[in-house]
Chain A
Amino acid sequence: EAQVTQNPRYLITVTGKKLTVTCSQNMNHEYMSWYRQDPGLGLRQIYYSMNVEVTDKGDVPEGYKVSRKEKRNFPLILESPSPNQTSLYFCASSLRFWETNEKLFFGSGTQLSVL
């Protein structure tokens, strides 16, 4: 089954404790992206990757890191989480949505709480 898998689904942590949210897709997609969703603000793009070893900043990259060492995985790293990073996070993937008539596939989301 074609899917984007995020883990964990829920995460509670404390300020400053490094964490990684994993994202994996099984569709051989070139494009992957991370979004955060906050009430009243919609989804805001954090980072995206057009292919392996190619990443770029979205609208709200501060405090986040990503890596794309292999096509299927795109982990989101919070080196020193802060309470303002409490949010619902979504990973998405696509072959090349800007060229092809296709949608983005989204993961189920990760609810992160930083205390």
Chain B
Amino acid sequence: AQKVTQAQTEISVVEKEDVTLDCVYETRDTTYYLFWYKQPPSGELVFLIRRNSFDEQNEISGRYSWNFQKSTSSFNFTITASQVVDSAVYFCAPDRGSTLGRLYFGRGTQLTVWP
């Protein structure tokens, strides 16, 4: 059975520190997509990135970067030079690959960035 784990329940950092959020997805599917979403205190869900299981190239977008390693089933997300506005709950969400339409969210990591 598939399993997505965000082992860090809460992380606190001081502004300008780098922070990495971990996500491990265990599955027998060979083809799948992985999403990261952000939920700020206002409650809406904000899309950050979508990667497929064939693409292990790291991706950088501004202060955000993602490291996907299929061999370890990890899809980690790093924020460089964190800011107070980065404070949010971050969700890792893999689709179920072989089961179309099923998108499964991790339990989320609460990131708090202090000024």
Which of chain A's residues have a CB closer than 8 A to the CB of B33?
A: 97-98
Of the candidates B35, B44, B100, B104, which one forms a contact with A45 in the assembled complex, judged by CB atoms under 8 Å apart? B104
The number of chain B residues touching the other chain, given as a range, is 20 to 34
Of the candidates A40, A45, A102, A109, which one forms a contact with B103 in the assembled complex, judged by CB atoms under 8 Å apart? A45
Contact with B along A78-105 (1 / 0, CB 8 A): 0000000000101000000110011110
A–B pairs, 14, beta carbons within 8 Å: A33-B101, A42-B107, A45-B102, A48-B102, A59-B104, A88-B43, A97-B103, A98-B100, A102-B50, A103-B35, A103-B47, A104-B35, A108-B43, A108-B44
Please list the residues of chain A having a beta carbon within 8 angstroms of any beta carbon in chain B: 31, 33, 35, 40-45, 48, 50, 56, 58-59, 88, 90, 97-98, 101-104, 106, 108-109
Which of chain B's residues have a CB closer than 8 A to the CB of A56?
A: 101
Does B40 touch A at the CB level, under 8 Å?
A: no
**CB pair B101 A42 closer than 8 Å:** no
The CA-CA distance from A106 to B103 in the complex, in Å, is 13
Which DSSP category, helix, strand, loop or mixed, fits chain B's interface? Answer: loop
Q: A40-B107, A42-B107 are in contact. Are A50 and B50 (CB under 8 A)?
A: no
Contact with A along B43-81 (1 / 0, CB 8 A): 111010010000000000000000000000000000000
Which of chain A's residues have a CB closer than 8 A to the CB of B106?
A: 42
The CA-CA distance from A23 to B95 in the complex, in Å, is 22
Name the residue on A nearest B42 (C-beta). A108
Minimum Cβ distance to chain A for residue B88 (Å): 14
